[in-house]
Structure 1
Amino acid sequence: MDDIHLKIKELRQEKNLTLKDLSEQTGLSLSFLSQIERGASSLSITSLKKISDALNIHMNYFFLENNDNQRFVVRKEEQHSFTTNLGSQIYTRMSGTFAGRKLEPLTVTLPPNMKEDHPYSHNGEEFYFVLVGEVVFYINNEKFHLYEGDTIHFPSSLSHQWENPLETESVVLSVVTPIIF
């Protein structure tokens, strides 16, 4: 997971793109892309998606191990956690690896009092099961307050964002399509 910056640089060079070319295609600044490729800056999922699109690959490429073996079972000690958006939420991949995979199962730990700054919408579906704590979802400006054991399932094309209203962490099981990590 720590080698995402190396994979980005390698792919960019394979496609004979300069940092300036990549900047123009993604809308990300040249200096930011340079920092990313040197491993000197954090990378949000939104920025990674822009880079993936410009390099004409799926974002999942950056998170797959360098083997072609299919894996159906992922032991607890093999699950990888990572953060995005400067370390806000903690994502833990729970998926196996095999050709044609369509679901992205994750656990997501939301820090105390976390609230997304702006809503998102994209293709796919999202399903969440609250394991610990509480989570408030805003879908098309409608508020849904979920408690432990509650679930929510909606098309990702609807405007959505979430927050943890508690002074403690909340944890959800998330299953989304398409594969984003």
Structure 2
Amino acid sequence: MENIHKKIKNLRLENEMTLKDLSERTGLSVSFLSQIERGSSSLAITSLKKIVDAFNIHITYFFEEIENHNYALHKEEQKPFKLEGSDIVHARLAGKFPDRKMEPMMVTIPPNKLYTEKYSHPGEEFYYVVKGVVVFKVDEKEYILNSGDSIHFPSEKEHEWKNPTNEEVVLVSVLTPVIF
């Protein structure tokens, strides 16, 4: 329930509403709504119901993460994304439930992708090569991995990867801690 205030603010902004607009729809004061959105005031279920009605949504929207554990993630729900400035495509494979410890992803590395940046951070990383050939460098040692190969290492070790071939590489990646 601690993220309800964030969800309320996000809904309001997505609906291009001001606090005054929401106040008029709910009968709740602007100052009270502002306190709610900042997380500095508690919210009674009756006030939450007024907010839910103002957005024309079901109250379970605010409790989906708590009550509606979504362990399965179907292919059409796996939305690909790129990090800013990168041409590597990621797709989250994780289920949705509180306190996840792992971050599974599908990673697609384009052809002829050379080492770009060395990484080092807390956690662990595991990769399984689904398709292609990839070269991992961990603590300055190179590992050439083909389809069906895997690698697992502490993320604190300086690491990077490259795809030296003319074919894309597809990896299943499992990281800790959760980052998305």
Q: TM-score when scaled to structure 2? A: 0.63
Q: How many angstroms does 1:87 deviate by?
A: 3.9
Q: In the alignment, which residue of structure 2 is the partner of 1:130?
A: 129
Which position in structure 1 is the counterpart of 2:160? Answer: 161
In structure 1, stretches of 5+ residues that fail to align are 1-5, 16-64
Residue type at the aligned position of 2:97: F
State the Cα distance separating 1:14 from its structure 2 match.
4.9
CA offsets 1:16-66 (integer angstroms, 9 cap, x no match):
xxxxxxxxxxxxxxxxxxxxxxxxxxxxxxxxxxxxxxxxxxxxxxxxx97
Structure having the higher Rg: 2
Q: Superposed, which structure 2 residues align to 1:106-125 within 5 Å?
A: 106-125=105-124
- Give the alignment's TM-score, normalised by structure 1: 0.63
| SS of structure 2 residue aligned to 1:180 | coil
The separation in 2 between residues aligned to 1:126 and 1:170, in whole angstroms, is 17
- Counterpart residue type for residue 106 of structure 1: M
Point out where structure 2 has 5 or more consecutive residues left out of the alignment. 1-8, 14-36, 40-60
User: How far did 1:149 drift?
Assistant: 0.4
Counting matched residue pairs gives 123
Amino acid at match of 2:153: F
Aligned mates of 1:14, 1:171 — CA distance in 2:
41
Identity %: 41
User: What secondary structure is seen at the aligned counterpart in 1 of 2:151?
Assistant: strand
The structural deviation recorded for 1:85 is 3.5
Q: Distance in 2 between matches of 1:88 and 1:133?
A: 17
Q: Which residue is 2:102 aligned to?
A: 103
Structure 1 residue 80: Cα displacement: 1.3
- 1:90 Cα deviation (Å)? 0.3
Deviation at 1:116, TM superposition (A): 3.3
